[in-house]
A = this chain, B = another copy of it.
Amino acid sequence: MSYYLGVDIGGTKTAIGIVTASYSLLDKVLVPTPKSPSVKEIGDLIAVTAQALLAKHKLSFSDIISGGAGCPGTVDMKTGHIIFACNLDMHNAPLAEYLSKKMEIPFFICNDADAAAFGEYIVGAGSDVSSAITVTLGTGVGTGIIMNDKIIPSEGGHIVTKHGGIQCNCGRKGCFEKYASATALIEQAIEAMENNKNSLLWELSGGTENVNGKILFEAIDLGDKTAQEVLDKYVEYVAGGLTSIINLLLPEMICIGGGVSAQGERLIAPIRKLVHAEQFTLADGSYTQIVACTLGNDAGIIGAATFSKYI
């Protein structure tokens, strides 16, 4: 029997997992990501941890078909170099080559959002379609685009959805992620709370410092008008950007990920309604499926483990 090795390198933690030939996660382990690591430092940590995890299952590197790692930042999938990962402080780092030699298996790297998208595409929400885009609503907005079994590198958080809007770190004004990220949702909630200090949202949060997505949905459940208005406006922003992405690429499916996607249909249904009312192909009666991601944090490990088959 043969396995894949999947690694999801995060800014604070790195997950290493064994993935079966049928793309399910056998086991995983989390280790702290070293600060500003050298290729040797992070490479050795991954290799040693993987070896221990394999040994636990009476396996060794000779049982591994190939391995892959998803890294935050810009990577060159062909050379296996991390070009620039600001959260890791790594530049032009030949990580795939190092791990390939160290573990004596074929090893590949890709962007972490792409890896997660690929996991969803292979065994998650997108497993029955031939084109799917995963849009992660997190600190920023990340996109992972899969078309015809291939990852297309993307930075979809930086399409401008509001001409001349909020200044983005990327230099542009009005980027999608300034309106549709989880961070933006909280900022929108804080602004609404400051204008509605009698709202239940204010009461439940005990002021603007502690508001989060969970409290927002709790306030909505209790009938708070302020909280509902925040969500309605946020849904409009998300749907607007998604409709543009959909019109540009006509994908079969959009998978929405990130912590806020745990709200499921309460978030997805109103987004779907707005997108389907506006998407270009509605004239043909064809609609892009809009669903929540299903693999959660394991998507990155599974995607990284298997994407090399589809580069």
Chain A residues with CB under 8 Å of chain B are 74, 83-84, 131, 143, 145, 147-148, 150, 152-156, 158-163, 165, 170-172, 174, 240, 243-245, 247-250, 277-278, 280-284
Given A145-B248, A155-B250, 12 more A-B residue pairs with CB atoms under 8 Å apart are A83-B284, A84-B284, A147-B150, A148-B152, A153-B250, A155-B280, A160-B240, A160-B243, A160-B244, A163-B165, A248-B248, A248-B249
- Tell me the bound Cα distance from A248 to B246 in angstroms: 11
- Tell me the bound Cα distance from A19 to B53 in angstroms: 58
Q: Which residue from chain B places its CB closest to the CB of A251 in the assembled complex?
A: B152
Of A148, A150, A154, A244, most buried by chain B (CB within 10 Å of CB) is A244
- Tell me the bound Cα distance from A171 to B243 in angstroms: 12
- Contact, CB under 8 Å: B247 / A280: no
- Contact, CB under 8 Å: A74 / B160: no
- Contact, CB under 8 Å: B171 / A84: no
- Tell me the bound Cα distance from A280 to B155 in angstroms: 7
- Contact, CB under 8 Å: B160 / A281: no
- Tell me the bound Cα distance from A283 to B143 in angstroms: 18
**Chain B min CB distance to A266 (Å):** 25
**Chain B min CB distance to A39 (Å):** 19
- Tell me the bound Cα distance from A98 to B38 in angstroms: 62
- Contact, CB under 8 Å: A250 / B163: no
- Tell me the bound Cα distance from A293 to B278 in angstroms: 31
